[in-house]
Chains A and B, each alone.
Chain A
């Protein structure tokens, strides 16, 4: 035996050595064991509740989710956000437990309870160790059946939702998604988003009624996964939900989404935007359509991640963007697909043309085998990574059940993806990515984007609130807006600065008319001297244009000064700005300015002197010395409303300004002499209010 082995070794020494040494190429996959989706039991209870139990005894944990057809699409028109607020309030008080008691009960056993709302479903989730199963069902039953929706908790939740919305509207990506949804879905509820008005319209009774009507067992899905038995769960469900019955009213009829006959570009004008956010796509298919698998492969090749075409070309090759992606999204109703990219303004047209070219290419050219293998490798290979824990398995089962994907969906998911051929992927792309009826939304600086985009397709323009604009309304005025000279009268205003309702300092502004000149000064002191600023502007009494700026800022002991003159179309002088590390950055300014440019420090002087009238929009160019930057600000004037500040109650125009670093809203008295009553900053806790 020994001799035979030695002889054999002598015959194949080289082979053996290379097999044992370090391979110079990535090793090939070994045999793939079949992936069996973990077994589960399902039943529909007499009250119509669907129950899935996934017994998984590896660790003593349990994860429970209860999903209702009560997502955002069921919000009544005008009360968008109702489902979201209902979810938030479910754990904030029941007939026998306060919000604090609910929290300490579940945390007392090391568990978590929360509820959330998405487009189709409202879901209550509880996680705990499995020895707490009784308590889990006690709490789940309590918040589902006996929530009281206290008014104080509603106000708290509403305040939080409103600040989150304000922040969202200052972010161009979120603005793009809101417009894209309403463009592709039209009046279909998948196209709606909450607004300030709709959040404010929700009452405690609305929430209670929504919960009463929609949180019903028929059509709801309860998934229990972990170290439990089917019998145990059925027993606890019977106890926790005894006597519960009923079905939610049938959902709203879903109007058909808009069908376009040709691609159309919606340009959302966001003056001063540093980038353009592009979203392109269209409504697609119902979740059960078998074209999904080939479509999933095609969208993975097009833009599924860092290994996909859009990312590799728009980012790696062209350096136009930080990221570019495509995805196919499912709803219980009609889904959609989208491709997205945030690009530098001056390459927006090139990027959009390239993106459209890539859509054309995947619709017409069969995907090469190497790319097809890579994409399927990711999609098929990563599936087992998503079913490791009971809660992950539960979410896969819930997703399949809620979307009505059929009993064999999870079992055959990998097989069906593996079977997709290059031809099938091309056919799916041709059907799903409706190139000739594409909706394209671009959020960015319209003045710099309109000409670039109109060469690609017909362009409609709106402002961030959705009001239509004309191309001529985009360009900053060649000549300064004529200010109302009657508003240049001498005055002295004191205002206080509030941070979330608490005074932190004051600002005093004064218009003086020494001789025939015009001087505006502003003095601020916040945090007992932590921040002090004194600004003096010398203005031209004939038109209000700025001639000279002198500003001294002291922040935490650091002093920054700005001294500029405006003449012959240039700002010249020096400026400085405190930096976050406590230092002061000083720089010289010698900047050419578009005609009519005004120093940004003059905003509180200029706005009351605009020829204000309800519904008017003013666009003006400003120079910001602390950033050495030119910005285009847009002021939109609303109808006069009653505004109360410490100085009294006045009729005032609401003026929404965009284009500055932080968007802000000013309230200016409608009667002369006009005064600034209040200034609010979007997403910031600061308010400035007139005291006298």
Chain B
């Protein structure tokens, strides 16, 4: 505590003019007659371009008994289409010097390429070919279903704490009223096994339509040329009927929940606290995001300073708000602590709870708030350094905000948050009646071998 004064002096200094201008992205938008929404932003600082397609579908669109389909589908998208053989997508991009990938979240599925700018046409053509003519065959389906099951084993079932983390995120939601968020993105092995090729075809027909997708292009290109490629490759793809709406009825604070789990891969116990939080567009979100930073980001965060350094009760701590991606529906805030050697997980949970309680009772200091704003501002700017980073930001604002124009005004909402706002949202969402507490105990196997 010796030099708090000095440190505080440094921390309160924020340049408002810089803050307002930093990370500004100018963009244009148009929509094809078939409903494909296109956003683009020129950036000629390097001779490369990123093509980023978001389909407005994710695990939230799955129905009971068919969990994991959106993600299985993402795999199918790399298995070939009318003019692209299996494996050729990767090969064409790689030989052009590019990189590519895709990912599935609750609310969206994305596919992207970053490539030298003279191959913009290749990336757009590849995206168009799979949007119009994906190879939905029995062989690809069975093959990718096995790959996804292996991925679940590798990433979830075989990793310490992953089952608690992945499954735990869904427990605050009730299957009957909010199936959208009451099941995992990766899905269950049983549901994957139960899937039929016809389900895959139906999923494609409903969700992989131009009118259910947004194409974002950022980088070194000429807008006229981009429009010409987009028209040529995408305009003939037919519009599909609009997908059915997703409903989720969930409320904050429906009473505390508590679960205990045994984890065969964990050597040390852990505790996790999960709180229900509102949809991303809710006015409380900026204050919650800053609270999240103060609680658990960095070596100087509350959880690290208290649990790891002072009490030596935790090996490490972590916090996250909607760790996969933002949501248009209700989400979660998680705090995880892994216990040190021989520390009782119940004692650890008491320490975690004490930190959360002190936020509710005492709020945060001015220094903490400034640190959180600086951290957030820094992340905000670093996220816009690359063409792909900018493309993902445009997609984010297009999907989760009232208008993509908020890409240039959102930071102001964060910088306007006050200590009172944080105390208010802490009181509202960190309420014990809104908590799910998960205690993870290691299975003791291996000890005596």
Contact = CB atoms under 8 A, between A and B. Distances in A.
A29 B119 CA distance: 5
A378 B91 contact: no
B447 interface: yes
Contacts of A135: 10
B385 interface: yes
B341 A500 contact: yes
Given A60-B381, A684-B267, A384 B444 contact: no
24 contacts: A20-B232, A21-B232, A23-B232, A32-B47, A60-B22, A101-B3, A105-B7, A107-B375, A108-B371, A109-B371, A129-B18, A307-B95, A374-B95, A380-B97, A381-B95, A385-B98, A387-B46, A389-B386, A501-B342, A504-B444, A527-B444, A580-B264, A580-B443, A661-B449
Contact of B22 (A59, A378, A500, A501): A59
Query: What 3 A-B pairs are tightest by C-beta distance, nearest first?
Result: A381-B97, A502-B342, A500-B341
Contacts of A681: 446
Given A61-B382, A110-B377, A306-B94, A662 B446 contact: yes
Given A103-B298, A110-B377, A507-B448, A131 B121 contact: no
B413 interface: no
Contacts of A503: 342
A2 interface: no
A499 B449 contact: no
Contact of B342 (A22, A58, A504): A504
A465 interface: no
Interface residues of A, number: 86
Contacts of A685: 267-268, 341
A500 B445 contact: no
Interface of A: 20-33, 35, 58-61, 96-97, 100-101, 103-105, 107-111, 128-129, 131, 135, 305-307, 373-374, 377-385, 387-390, 497-505, 507, 522, 524, 526-527, 530-531, 533, 555-556, 578-582, 600, 660-662, 681, 684-686, 688
B38 interface: no
Interface residues of B, number: 83
A307 B94 contact: yes
Interface string B277-309: 000000000000000000000111000010001
A142 to B, nearest CB: 12
A395 to B, nearest CB: 14
Given A305-B94, A384-B48, A30 B120 contact: yes
Contacts of A58: 45, 385
Contacts of A522: 448
B267 A109 contact: no
Most chain B CB within a 10 A radius of its CB, from A60, A526, A600, A661: A60
Of A27, A379, A504, most B-chain CB atoms within 10 Å: A27
B311 to A, nearest CB: 14
A105 to B, nearest CB: 6
Contacts of B121: 27-30
A501 B341 contact: yes
Given A27-B121, A107-B298, A526-B447, A502 B385 contact: no
B98 A382 contact: yes
B222 to A, nearest CB: 10
B395 interface: no
Interface string B413-449: 0000000000000000000000000000101111111
B378 interface: yes
Interface in B109-150: 114-122, 125-126, 128-129, 132
Interface string B19-60: 001110000000000000000000001111000000000000
A23 B48 contact: no
Contact of B448 (A21, A306, A524): A524
A417 to B, nearest CB: 11
Contacts, number: 233
B22 A556 contact: no
Contacts of A581: 157
B448 A103 contact: no
Interface of B: 2-3, 7, 10-11, 15, 18, 21-23, 45-48, 83-84, 90-92, 94-99, 114-122, 125-126, 128-129, 132, 157, 220, 225, 232-233, 236, 262-265, 267-268, 298-300, 305, 309, 340-343, 367, 370-371, 374-379, 381-382, 384-387, 441, 443-449
B444 A530 contact: yes
A526 B446 CA distance: 11
A530 B300 CA distance: 35
Given A22-B236, A384-B48, A388-B387, A109 B374 contact: yes
Given A100-B300, A580-B157, 12 more contacts: A26-B122, A29-B96, A30-B118, A31-B118, A110-B374, A501-B341, A504-B444, A507-B448, A533-B448, A580-B265, A662-B446, A686-B447
Nearest to A379: B97
A587 to B, nearest CB: 17
Contacts of A501: 341-342
Contacts of A555: 262, 443-445
Contacts of A390: 385
